[in-house]
Amino acid sequence: MKGIVENFDLYAPKLVDKEEYFSSGHRACQGCGEALAVRLMCKGLGKDTVITNATGCMEVISSLYPTTAWKLPWIHVAFPNSAAVGAGVESALKVLRRKGKIADRDVKTVSIGGDGGSVDIGFQAISGSMERGHNMIYVCFDNEAYMNTGIQRSGATPFGASTTTAPAGAASVGNKTWKKNMPEIMVAHNVPYVATACHSYPIDFINKVKKARSVKGPAYIHCLAVCPTGWRSSSDTCIKLGRLAVETGFFPLYEVENGKYRLTIEMPKKLRPVEDYLKLQGRFRHLTPDQMKQFQERVTLEYKKLMNKVKYSKSWLEM
Amino acid sequence: MAEKKWPETWQEINPGLMVFKPASARSYLTGGWRAQKPILDNTKCIKCGVCYLFCPEGCITEDAEGYFMADLNYCKGCGICYHECWPRAIKMVED
Amino acid sequence: MSKRIGMEIALAAAEVAALCRPDVIAAYPITPNTHIPEHLAEIVAEGHLDCEYLPVESEHSALSACAGASAVGARVFTATSSQGLLYMGEIVPIIPAMRLPIVMALGNRALSGPINIWNDHSDVMAVRDMGWICLFAANGQETIDMIVQAFKIGEDHRVMLPVLVNLDGFQLTHVVESMIMPDQEEVDKFLPPRKPYATVHPDNVVSMGTLGLPEIYTEAKKAEDEALINSKKVILEVWKEWEKTFGRKYEPIESYKTKDADVIMLTVGSMYETAAIAVDQLHKEGFKAGLLNMKLFRPFPADELKAAVKGARVLIVTDRAVMCGGAQAPVCAEVKSVLYDEPVRPAIVNEIIGLGGRDVRVDDFIKMFKKAATADKVKPERAYEIYGVRSS
């Protein structure tokens, strides 16, 4: 069982908010990493929060009328517009507070969506909301495909994953493109706080949510969420897979504060081979050693690029 | 009186399908989905709460003595707690 | 005190929208409504209106931001035209289903294919069944009056629906007219601050926009339909109060010289005023022409329509949009369906006019009246005609 409690503050669970803002009775699949990530995010946010939710798994599994799993005020309008609805919510909270029509205290607007609703169809709305500088957080829960509609490929799907619209076959490796680097695009929007996170590192994630909450202005968190159904992996390995994604360097955990990159968990001196990560997932089962090598090379390159930024980037505030 | 699962008539529906009962999803018991259930062995438990933290259902709670227990009304039997329990205090058994 | 002003109608629409004290405005530029959000931005920039103005990156986000703001309890205004409305299209039916009051000024413009920035009603007709209250202004005065009325109607707890105020692109938006503009005190008195039914806020936790399974969807749609149908009562109440306060009368269908009229024409929007001149001229010739103008299109004023056409031998329904491949143009299709069960009804002629900004002049209306005069004896070849189309 080596590795399981690595990087984990043993008794840290005692310190987190015990309130469950995302209640039991939601209809997520067994071992859903995204439901866990949402639950953890809410613990970081606390009660003075409004959630805007893009259409997708989390919306569907949490809001079957006449019930809701949410203990936080929550609104869903459509698929591509979570960030735009969030912009409206944030603006209304601001102006109504200014006019004395609602309580005079900080209420944070948090827009959430899956990878499809964020890096593909919701991209424009996020770009607009971040560029306009709304005082809000956007959290993308990235399970690397359109899982709600049945595992179709998105812009966040990694190379080689077999999906229903980019299936592996005699003439195809599966998905032919590399994962879109959404955090980097957010940094380019001059968003003062950008971070990556994963439910397998709950304290790291919750701390990032708290930090994002304290930012006056936009903040973006890109959270990798394991989807046992879509990844063709066993539900009990959900946390382990998230950890392997980090330890292989495939999905490093970092934050970018005012342009300054910093790794937020200690990375192993020598990264684990990506094969350790890929072999536990049915969606990569078909990869040949050559394709596996290709995957490894790209991960190594991306990791080097990141480490270069960690080493050389400086905070805008210090320039 | 047991609450109705659905509003029966259109007049009973809240405007805009708004739901005013937070966390009312708890009325739906997901425990029925389960094939296996977690059994917690308190003699091995170190009360760290890893199982609590990693449960996607949020259905594991701490008792007065500091031990953790899954609410089987909601536990879907995913096995995450079993897999993550470092002192191996949890095992999954057929339900 | 109200005062008479001479102003471009789009600018007046912005000024009156500002008098309604919106909390949030989100809009994206598109001709010909643009002067409305532009002028509002100016009013906010000058500090005359305390408002969050969101110059968003698309119409889709404009309406989405309006939805979020309305859900928090803000008074919300937006404006668009044509393709902009269609780009909002995904969100358009969701707003009434969520029972979120929003007022939108729609500077009516032809839908693209080919691109054309001029006026017709193909934009609004594409969303007519999506659950919004639809008002049509015939001139500048009606435009500004209807914007104030729209907030009061939409925000009423018996309604809680979005309202589209339609004003013809260019024909109204860009025309300078003489109007009576109410002052701030009058608007404040007529339109108190919004009292939201529910707000997305931690002090009163609610989930909005939940999922309707097959067990619920049918009842949800019925409830939405009833809400729109029942909004008519509130619309009539608000119009009555408006008349009492400001002395200007509003009714779902306005009649002009229809008493004893032999041939009646129905218009929607600004064509009404041109057609009225034609009716006056026809009367001089002894031709008993009458005119109706539909100000309320959703909910559809069926009873008022039946009463208004009583006694007429022929009814000409003008449409400003083609329902491609359909049985009829949209307004006429509905008119026919309403009159079908009447024991005595006029012969109906459907003229599609003024597409993509094509001018319709007084003599055109006279021609339509004269041609339709025999429609009860000689049935027109086709269910509708695109008036003035050049054919070889």
Please indicate, yes or no, whether residues C13 and C141 belong to a single structural domain of this protein.
yes
Task: Report the pLDDT averaged over residues C347-376.
Answer: 97
d(CA A152, CA A174): 11
Between CA B77 and CA B95 the distance in angstroms is 9
Q: How far is C65 from chain A (nearest CA, A)?
A: 4
Q: Give every CB contact of residue A43 below 8 A, 6+ residues apart in sequence.
A: A16, A17, A19, A21, A206
- B42: its two tokens: 């308190």
Q: Nearest chain B Cα to C161, which residue? A: B16
Q: What's the average model confidence in pLDDT over A43-69?
A: 98
Tell me: do C48 and C146 sit in the same domain. yes
Q: Is residue C391 part of a domain?
A: no
Is A99 an 8 Å CB contact of chain B? no
Model pLDDT for residues A227-257, shown as the tens digit of each residue: 999 999 999 999 999 999 999 999 999 999 9
Cα distances from C339 to residues C25, C300, C319, C334, in angstroms, run: 40, 13, 17, 9
- Dist CA B49 CA A202 (whole Å): 12
CA B5 to chain C, closest CA, distance in angstroms equals 10
Query: pLDDT grade, residue A9 (50/70/90)?
Result: low
Q: What is the predicted pLDDT for the residue at A12?
A: 76
**Amino acid letter, C342:** E
Cα first-last separation, chain C: 58
Are the Cβ atoms of A95 and C206 closer than 8 angstroms?
no
At B6 the pLDDT is 83
Say yes or no: B56 contacts chain A, CB-CB below 8 A: yes
CA distance A44 to chain B (A): 13
CA distances from A165 to A55, A146, A175, C217 (A): 20, 10, 8, 30
Contact C219 B9 (CB under 8 A): yes
Question: Average model confidence (pLDDT) for chain A?
Answer: 96
Proportion of chain A above pLDDT 90, given as a percent: 95
Chain A nearest-CA residue for C66: A88
**pLDDT at residue A3 tops 50:** no
Maximum separation of any 2 CA atoms in chain A, in Å:
65
Best mutation target among B9, B10, B21, B26 (most C Cβ atoms within 10 Å) is B10
3-state secondary structure of B38: strand
Band of residue C379 on the pLDDT scale cut at 50, 70, 90 = confident
Residue C27 is classified by DSSP as E
Interface list for A 26-55 with C (CB within 8 A): 47-50, 52-53
Given a cut of 60, whether residue C176 has pLDDT beyond it is: yes
Closest alpha carbon within chain B to A65: B17
Nearest-CB residue to B15 (from C160, C209, C212): C160
> Where residue C336 sits, what CATH number does that domain have?
3.40.50.920
Q: Is the pLDDT of residue B88 over 70?
A: yes
Q: Give domain status of residue C132, yes or no.
A: yes
User: Is the torsion defined by CA of B12, B15, B21, B24 positive or negative?
Assistant: positive
Chosen for mutation from A38, A50, A85 (greatest number of chain C CBs closer than 10 Å) is A85
Q: Do A39 and B50 touch (CB under 8 A)?
A: no
* Gap between the Cα atoms of C309 and C384, Å rounded: 19
Is residue C46 in some structural domain? Answer: yes
Token pair, residue A95, equals: 């102006």
Q: Cβ–Cβ of C97/B16 closer than 8 Å?
A: yes
Domain that holds residue C195: 3-246
User: How does pLDDT run across C6-61, given as a tens digit for each residue?
Assistant: 999 999 999 999 999 999 999 999 999 999 999 999 999 999 999 999 999 999 99
Q: What is the pLDDT of residues C279-300, one digit of tens each?
A: 999 999 999 999 999 999 999 9
**Do residues A124 and A54 lie in contact, with contact meaning Cβ atoms separated by under 8 Å?**
no
User: How confident is the model at residue B1, as a pLDDT?
Assistant: 43
Angle between helices C271-284 and C362-372 (to 10 degrees): 60
Chain A residues whose beta carbon lies within 8 Å of the beta carbon of residue B71: 24
- CB-CB contact of A140 with A122 (8 Å): no
**Cβ burial C302-329 (10 Å sphere, 16+ → b, else e):** eebbeebbeebbbbbbbbbbbbeeeebb
Contacting partners of chain C (3+ CB pairs under 8 A): A, B
User: Would you say the ipTM is above 0.90?
Assistant: yes
Residue C5 confidence (pLDDT) above 70: yes
Q: Residues C155, C93: one domain?
A: yes
Chain A residue with the nearest C-alpha to that of B87: A1
pLDDT digits (tens, 9 = 90+) for B4-27: 778 889 999 999 999 999 999 999
What residues pair up with C201 in beta bridges, in sequence order? C204
The three-class DSSP label of residue A152 is strand
Q: Say whether A146 sits in a helix, a strand or coil.
A: strand
C173 in the same domain as C52? yes
Report which of C148, C249, C157 is spatially closest to residue C197, judged by C-alpha positions: C157
Element (H, E) at C84: helix C82-88
Q: How many CA atoms lie within 13 A of C181 on its CB side?
A: 20
CB contact under 8 A, A87 and C54: yes
Distance from CA of A94 to the nearest CA of B (A): 23
Assess C176–B contact: CB distance below 8 Å, yes or no: no
The pLDDT assigned to A8 comes to 54
Across residues B36-50, what is the average pLDDT?
Answer: 95
Residues A128, A75: Cα–Cα separation, whole Å: 19
CB contact under 8 A, C160 and B16: yes
Six-digit token string for A272: 């684990």
Task: State what percent of residues in chain C have pLDDT above 90.
Answer: 99
C115 touches chain B (CB under 8 A): no
Question: What does the pLDDT read at residue B5?
Answer: 79
We report the CATH number of the domain holding residue C206 as 3.40.50.970
pLDDT digits (tens, 9 = 90+) for C97-141: 999 999 999 999 999 999 999 999 999 999 999 999 999 999 999
What does the alpha-carbon distance between residue C224 and residue C372 come to, in Å, rounded to a whole number?
39
Last residue of a domain, one of C223, C246, C269: C246
Taking one residue from A and the other from C, the number of pairs with CB-CB distance under 8 angstroms is: 179
User: Averaged over A131-144, what is the pLDDT?
Assistant: 98
| Cβ C41 vs Cβ C53: under 8 Å | yes
Same domain, C227 and C271: no
**pLDDT classification of B2: cutoffs 50, 70, 90:** low
For A56, name the nearest residue in chain C, comparing CA atoms only: C211
Within 8 A of B20 by CB-CB distance, chain C residues are: 198, 205-206
Among residues C213, C246, C279, the one where a domain terminates is C246
Distance CA B41, CA B50 (A): 14
Residues of chain A with Cβ-Cβ distance to B77 below 8 Å are 30
Instruction: Please name the amino acid found at residue C353.
Output: I
Contact A88 C58 (CB under 8 A): no
Residue C271 shares a structural domain with residue C358:
yes
Residue percentage of chain B with pLDDT more than 90: 91
Q: Which domains does chain B have, with CATH numbers?
A: 30-94 (3.30.70.20)
Examine the domain organization and report whether C62 and C7 are in the same domain.
yes
Mutating which of B4, B8, B18 best tests the C interface, going by the most C Cβ atoms within 10 A?
Answer: B18
Q: Is the pLDDT of residue B40 over 70?
A: yes
What is the total count of domains within chain C?
2
Chain-wide mean pLDDT for chain C?
A: 98
Q: What is the pLDDT of residues A249-306, one digit of tens each?
A: 999 999 999 999 999 999 999 999 999 999 999 999 999 999 999 999 999 999 999 9
Classified as helix, coil or strand, C174 is: coil
Residue A1 has pLDDT above 60, yes or no: no
Neighbours of C191 (CB within 10 A): 20
Q: Is residue C40 in a domain? A: yes
B19–A67 C-beta distance less than 8 A: yes
Residues A143-156: what's their mean pLDDT? 98
From C208's Cα to the closest Cα of chain B, the distance in A is 5
Q: Does C266 fall in a domain?
A: yes
Residues sharing a CB contact under 8 Å with residue A126, sequence separation 6 or more, in sequence order? A83, A111, A118, A138, A186, A220
| Domain boundary, last residue among C246, C275, C294 | C246
State the Cα angle at C211 between C210 and C216, rounded to 5°. Answer: 110
Considering the domain architecture, whether residues C201 and C291 belong to the same structural domain is answered as no
Report the candidate in C110, C244, A102 with the shortest Cα–Cα distance to residue C236: C244
* Domain identity same for C194 and C265: no
Question: Is A95's Cβ below 8 Å from some Cβ in C?
Answer: yes
Check if A176 contacts C (Cβ < 8 Å). Answer: no
CB contacts, 8 Å: A39 with chain B? 56, 58
Residue of C nearest to B5 (CA): C215
pLDDT at A6 over 80: no
Q: Does B93 touch chain A (CB under 8 A)?
A: no
Phi, psi of B55 (to 5 degrees): -75, 120
With CA atoms as reference, the chain C residue closest to A111 would be C68
**Do C188 and C283 share a domain, yes or no?**
no
C392 found inside a domain: no
C218 shares a domain with C78? yes
Alpha-carbon torsion (C170, C96, C135, C24), positive or negative: negative
Find the Cα–Cα–Cα–Cα dihedral C200, C202, C205, C208, rounded to 10°: 20
Cβ C42 vs Cβ C73: under 8 Å: no
Interface contact flag, C216 B19, Cβ < 8 Å: no
Q: Give C266→chain A minimum CA distance, Å.
A: 37
Q: How many angstroms separate the Cα of C354 from the Cα of each of A46, C286, C388?
A: 57, 27, 9
Judgement on whether residues C81 and C218 belong to the same structural domain of the protein = yes
By C-alpha distance, the chain B residue nearest C227 is: B15
Q: Which helix (H) or strand (E) holds C79?
A: strand C76-80
Sign of CA dihedral C218, C219, C222, C224: negative
Query: What are chain A's domains?
Result: 16-318 (3.40.50.970)
